[in-house]
Structure 1
Amino acid sequence: MAKAPNGGTETKDEPDGGPPSPGGGPLGQAARALGMRTDGTIFFVSAGLMIVFLALVLLLPEPINDIFSAGRDWIVTNLGWFFILGVTTWLVFLAWVALSRYGNLRLGGDDSRPAYGNLSWFAMLFAGGIGTVLMFWGVAEPISHFANPPRAGVDPHSVQASQEAMNFSLYHLSLHTWAIFTLPGLAFGFFIYRYNLPLRVSSVFYPFLKYRIHGPIGKTIDIFAVLGTLFGLAVSLGLGTSQIAAGLEVLTPLPDDVTTRVLVISVLTAVAVGSIVAGLDKGVKRLSNINILMAIGLMIFVLLTGGELVFLLRQVFESLGRYLESIVGLSLWNDAMAGYTKDGGWGWQGGWTVFYWAWTVTWAPFMGVFLARISKGRTIRQFVGGVLLAPSAFTLVWFAIFGWSAMRIDGIGGDGGELTREVVDDKQVPLAMFEFFSNFPATTLIQGIAVVVVALFFATSSDSASLVVDMLCSGDEEAGPVRQRVFWGVSEGALAASLIVLGGDKALQALEQVITVIGLPIFVLAFLMVFCLLKGLRQERPAVYALQVKEMQRHLKQAEADSLAEEPAAGSADDTDTKS
């Protein structure tokens, strides 16, 4: 039967009369014949395109590298401003939605309530706020901007350079990054749980496509989303692998080369696949909790043993103030005067800001599903406020402790030290964290713990990512057959390994090139989600007004009850005095 936006119903009827059968056609029949529970078209086309890419990388590495290099240069030069303006627009839009009358709408039926308490929910957001990204860039990014200031007229290693380095680091990895995750998370939660649509990216475009989300247009959107997610995860795994290999070179005789990195990817992918096969969901969750505690332990260790406790605590608050003071300018700065003031221009922003936004947006479907699933029943205002602010607050503390400690060690006001040589001069970014820990007690132990933390993030991320990619193909919240998830787990590892091989000694540069090109179509899709949400919210006006009427009635009833409670009882002293 036809079904409008439910505004509170929990039925499983399809909107707009229901879709055509998503599992039809030869590919759907093939999926059923293999005992799979997925959309055959999305699964096989996504897998086929990924396999074609892997084959091309192995057979034609140099031409493929040249194609992605040229594509990245064109995008950075001509569309870098679009990435910067886009993410800032999303952040403003999310703030408006949260503060508007739509903020009281729930991700689900109007009577639904959160499945998790605030403490558990914030803990899960906290878990999402740290990972290989903060481990990789916590020291490397502040030192990079400290030694090589992004803006002209700032002297390297100066006080101003240190302050700007912290501002840029927070700009890249706090509110703006989480806006990229919050937008699709909100869109997923709104359309999937209020409209009862499949758990796919195409469902977000229901206001414009209607039942065509189940047709060729919708499947094309989902295929792009699956491929973008796979490449985004591959880049993250590649960065984590680079850092693990760098740590192993410090701690063992193993050299940090392509062979070691591929070996690391292979071993950790095997661990992730093993957990998928064994069904160790509870074990993985416990492992994730241990991992988070170890990361927090590292942060506390740096805070207490670096000899700068008071300085770092002061910097937590001062860095927040400077970041808030500069956020508007940073949000719109795209180095338009680069040709008049210095060389580089988009070369710097292409390697940092544009790379970050292109990479992060490929994680958007993965993180969007995660955020929507743990937030069902919450209001839009609760969702946006919690997802934007909780992880950003942790990122602030992480960078204030690691970043300022690193810059103090390297010498504020001096000429730079060993960290500058490793990160900037020798471009050994993965070594930054390990060189940093060499300045602390129990160096070898702490460096070993850091390797374990990154490795655990790798394994648990690969496992959970396999589940999410499988969901994006099936459109179902329930986990598919184990062999489907195993396929995606192996694929993620193979894709990351191929990118490492493609880049060789310049693997990080290759990762930046590939993700910038792959990220563009995903970025466009995410931008269109703003308009889908606007239309969906406007269609919810009756529900908004109903909520306002309910709230007004509740206040009137409460006021009436308070008034009755305050009236003196019949025959009271006050009443007698009045009559007399």
Structure 2
Amino acid sequence: MSEFDEQNQKPKEIEQIEQIYDTDYEVGQDNVEAMGMDIHHPVFAIAATLIVLFVVASLIFPEVSNEWLNATRVWIGEKFDWMFLTAGNIFVLFCVALIILPVGKIRLGGQDAKPEFGYLSWFAMLFAAGMGIGLMFWGVAEPVGYFTEWYGTPLNVGGGNAEASLGATMYHWGLHPWAIYGVVALSLAFFCYNKGMPLTIRSTFYPLLGDRVWGWFGHFIDTLAVLATLFGLATSLGLGAKQAAGGMSFLFDVDGGLMTQIAIIIGVTAVAVVSVVRGIHGGVRVLSNLNMFVAAALLIFTMIAGGFVAFLANMGTTVWGYIEYMIPLSNPVGREDQTFYHAWTIFFWAWWISWSPFVGMFIARVSHGRTVREFMTAVLIVPVVVTVVWMSAFGGAGIDQVVAGVGELAGGIGDSSLALFQMLNELPMTAITSFLAIVLVLVFFITSSDSGSLVIDSITAGGKLDAPVPQRIFWAVTEGVVAGVLLAVGGDAALNALQAGAVSTGLPFVIILLFMCVSLAKGLNHELVLIKHGHA
């Protein structure tokens, strides 16, 4: 029996929990309105200043900036590779535990909350925001690259191993990245919808820090989240610009160099501004649904044109390779495949972590009314199933062409941004499918930019879900500027500059995510007690 307080007849444990979440903080109370913006002034000012300094310094000293970025990436990879890999394993186990344990029955928004979006739109937005643009870039290049020994092979198994190539690719795009997203997304959704706190990263630490999250420690967490989000997005936008420019060069014989890439960033950012002004319902949801249908059409075509029997065989190879190599690839001890390990796995883990504030907050915004079990199952399982099919179709077709000695891929990966188009070139209706691929890259580009802008808006407005239009425009433009600067600074090694930006911001956020798991576990257990006694 619980010990009751004589005055109000509440169990002592209920009173203790209610005291933990007793705060006078209100969303927007620290905000300053200026130039049509609603600014949570410490976070906005610090983040904007640091970004402007980075852009200016990179443009004035491009060679020094490029050297510094790459040196930072190498140092982080060598010193903290074990941390990235171990943390990724912890996140997967933590998310699986949330599905199995009794906390899975907790509903985001309260026991009577109803979902805002249907399953189809919800899944489309999860996938489009999570990694759509990355799958377009790496869907062919990565598995074919491993198969042909481009930047090393997984676990030094040697080139020509389809199981290792497709399995390692799935490892980078499967449970681990979505577990990273799931931790952040569920933490944000729970503390916002169930505890009435602002939709910002700092809120997720309330069980550990109490009202201190509204002070400078919270400002630091949110500022770091803005920087991580911006550089993670800039990396993806830069990759998208390189691939779209490469596709235009391949299809229309135009120059696919830096100027074309910058022009694409400008054009897409302009469209993203329009979309971000329209908001989630009128912008992101519409574009995400469009993405889903175009991607499904391209996927089905590739499955059939590349040979459906071959696709089924490749899917079996992908699934078995993923199962076979998941544990060895998750082990940070005694790794001999250092080139592969650092150039691929550590980069991807840092990239996912730098994306986690953006994707996590976006998923949280569209997941009101889902149970923890429903939420985590969807975030983990559905994208992994779709990715297995995607990689089996595109990556499998690319490997089949290498084995058959057909097309440009038979000579290995030269320019990673062209790999998708080189694969499609050996299938029927090349002009149509390549054009669709370019459109898909650009629309993924737009959805990433505008959904990222909405997220940064929320953080820099102190957790408000509907920041003013000028503020949305400011961050959408800023994302495009940073992506363009990283490409310009990188020169011929632009991909390395983009990777360095993601890795640099991903490192400090690893520690934040680990503590976030602890805080979320405490919060969910508190909620379970409240539900048990009818106080939730």
TM-score calculated relative to the size of structure 2: 0.91
Partner of 1:468: 455
Q: Deviations over 1:346-390 (max 9, x none)?
A: 332111111111111111111111222222222211111111001
- What is the deviation of 1:303? 1.1
Alpha-carbon distance in structure 1 between the residues aligned to 2:280 and 2:211 = 37
**1:312 maps to amino acid:** F
**Aligned twin of 2:297:** 297
Q: Give the number of aligned pairs.
A: 520
Correspondence for 2:23 among 1, 17, 22? 17
For 2:133, the equivalent position in structure 1 comes to: 132
Aligned position for 1:45 = 46
Q: Which residue in 2 is equivalent to 1:251?
A: 251
Q: CA deviation at 1:285?
A: 3.3
Identity %: 38
Instruction: Tell me if 1:491 matches 2:478.
Output: yes
**Map of 1:347-362 to 2, 5 A cutoff?**
347-362=339-354
Query: Contact 1:102 / 1:544 at 8 angstroms: preserved in 2?
Result: no
Please say which of residues 533-542 and 396-405 is displaced more in the overlay. Answer: 533-542
Q: Which residue, out of 505, 519, 525, partners 1:538? A: 525
Counterpart CA distance in 1 for 2:366 and 2:122 is: 7
Whether the aligned pair in 1 keeps the contact of 2:154 and 2:168 (CA below 8 Å) is no
Cα pair 2:69 2:501 within 8 Å, conserved? yes
- SS at structure 1 position matched to 2:397: helix
Q: What is the Cα deviation at residue 535 of structure 1?
A: 2.2
The AA in structure 1 aligned to 2:313 is: R
Task: Give the conservation status (yes or no) of the 8 Å contact 2:105–2:372.
Answer: yes
Unmatched runs of 5 consecutive residues or more in structure 2: 1-9
Equivalents in 2 of 1:182, 1:371: separation in Å? 8
Structure 1 residues 152 and 533: CA distance shift in structure 2, 3 A: closer
Q: Which residue of structure 1 lines up, in the alignment, with residue 183 of structure 2?
A: 183
**AA partner of residue 213 (structure 1):** V
| Counterpart for residue 165 of structure 1 | 165
The one-character-per-residue Cα deviations of 1:13-66 (angstroms, maximum 9, x if unpaired) are 994231389655xxx5xx324342231111121111110110010111122222
Shift of 1:530: 1.1
Q: Is this contact kept in 2: 1:258–1:505, CA < 8 A?
A: no
1:375 maps to which residue?
Answer: 367
State the match for 1:455 in structure 2.
442
Q: Which moved more, 1:37-46 or 1:232-241?
A: 37-46
Q: Alpha-carbon deviation of 1:249?
A: 1.0
Alignment deviations for residues 272-310 of structure 1 (CA, whole Å, 9 cap, x no partner):
22344567952553333222211111111111112x211
Distance in 1 (CA, whole Å) between partners of 2:394 and 2:33 is 51
Partner of 2:380: 388
| Residue correspondence of structure 1 range 381-460 to structure 2 within 5 A | 381-411=373-403, 418-421=408-411, 423=413, 426=414, 428-460=415-447
Q: Deviation at 1:258?
A: 1.4
Distance 1:209 1:36 in 2: 29
State yes or no: 1:324 paired with 2:323: yes
SS at match of 1:524: helix
Residue type at the aligned position of 2:429: A
CA separation of 1:44 and 1:155: change in aligned 2, threshold 3 A: closer
Per-residue CA deviations over 1:152-181 (Å, capped at 9, x if unaligned) read 663422xxx111001001000011111111
Read off the aligned partner of 1:471 and give its amino acid letter.
Answer: S
d(CA) in 2 for partners of 1:180 and 1:527? 10
Rate the CA distance shift 1:215–1:337 in 2: closer, same or farther, 3 A.
closer
Q: Distance in 1 between matches of 2:235 and 2:323?
A: 30
Q: Does 1:72 align with 2:73?
A: yes
Q: Which residue of 2 aligns with 1:88?
A: 89
C-alpha separation in 2, matches of 1:459 and 1:128: 10
Q: Aligned in 2, Cα 1:503/1:100: closer, same or farther, shift over 3 Å?
A: same
Please say if residues 15 and 195 of structure 1, whose CA atoms lie closer than 8 Å, have aligned partners that are also in contact: yes
Give 3-state SS (helix, strand or coil) of 1:178's partner.
helix
Aligned to 2:7: none
Q: Per the alignment, in what secondary structure is the counterpart of residue 37 of structure 1? A: strand
Residue equivalent to 2:4: none
Say if 1:45 and 1:76 are closer, same or farther in 2 by CA, change over 3 A: same
Bigger CA drift: 195-204 or 525-534? 525-534
Structure whose alpha-carbon radius of gyration is higher: 1
Deviation at 1:330, TM superposition (A): 2.3
Partner of 2:205: 205
The answer to which of 514-523 and 84-93 deviates more is: 514-523
* Counterpart secondary structure, 2:194: helix
Q: What SS does structure 2 have at the residue aligned with 1:439?
A: coil
Conserved? CA contact 1:107–1:194, under 8 Å? yes
Distance 2:266 2:441 in 1: 15
1:456 Cα deviation (Å)?
1.4
Kindly state the Cα deviation for residue 191 of structure 1 after the two structures are TM-superposed.
Answer: 1.4
Deviation at 1:420?
Answer: 4.9
| Residues 144 and 420, structure 1, Cα contact 8 Å, conserved in 2 | no
Which of 491, 495, 509 pairs up with 1:504? Answer: 491
